[in-house]
Amino acid sequence: MKSAADLKNGEKGIIVSVDENHPSARRILEVGFTPGQEIELITKSIFSDPIAYAVRGTLIAIRKNEAECIKLL
Partner 1 sequence: MITEFTEKIPFITLLGPPNSGKTTLFNYLSGKNYKTVNYPGATVEYSIARILKKYNFEANLLDSPGIISLIPESLDEKVSINAIYNHPKYGIPDLVIITVDASQLSRHLLLVSQLIEAKFKILIALTMTDILNKKGLDVSINKLEKLIGCNVVRIDGRNGKGVDQLLRAAEENIQNAKTYGGYQPVMVDNMNNSSALIEVFKKIEEIEHNVIVPIKHGNNIDFNNANKQLNILNVDADKKLTHKLDSTSLRIDKILLHKVWGLAVFFIIMAGIFTSIFWLAAPIMNLVDDLFGYLASDAFSYLGNNWYGDFIANGIITGTGSVLVFVPQILILFLILGVLEDTGYLARGAMLIDKPLSKIGLNGRSFVPMLSGFACAIPAMLAARTIPNKRERLLTIFIIPLMSCSARLPVYALLIGFLFPASKAWLAGIILAAIYVFSTASSIVVASVINKFRSEFLIEKNNSSFILELPAYRKPKLSVVANNAYHSAKLYFKKAGPIIIGFSIVLWFLTYFPNSNPDIKTKGLNQDQVIQLQKSERLSGSYAAELGRGIQPLMKPLGLDWRVGVSLISAFTAREVFVSSLALIFKVTDNTQPLQNSIIDAMRKATIDGTNQRLFTTSTIIGLIIFFVFALQCLSTIAVSKKETGGWKIPMLQLIVFTSMAYVSTFIAVNGLRLLGLP
Does position 71 interact with partner 1 (CB under 8 A)? The reply is: no
CA distance linking residue 24 with residue 13, whole number of Å: 20
Does position 3 interact with partner 1 (CB under 8 A)? The reply is: no
What is the chain's percent helix, strand, coil content, to nearest 5?
20, 40, 40
Does position 23 interact with partner 1 (CB under 8 A)? The reply is: yes
Which residues, in sequence order, are CB contacts of 30 under 8 Å at separation 6+?
Answer: none
Q: How far is CA 57 from CA 15, 22, 38, in A?
A: 15, 25, 10
Does position 44 interact with partner 1 (CB under 8 A)? The reply is: yes
Give the nearer residue to partner 1 in terms of CB position, either 2 or 26. 26
Does position 45 interact with partner 1 (CB under 8 A)? The reply is: yes
Q: Applying CB under 8 A, which residues contact partner 1?
A: 18, 20, 23-32, 34-35, 42-47, 49-50, 52, 54, 56-63, 66
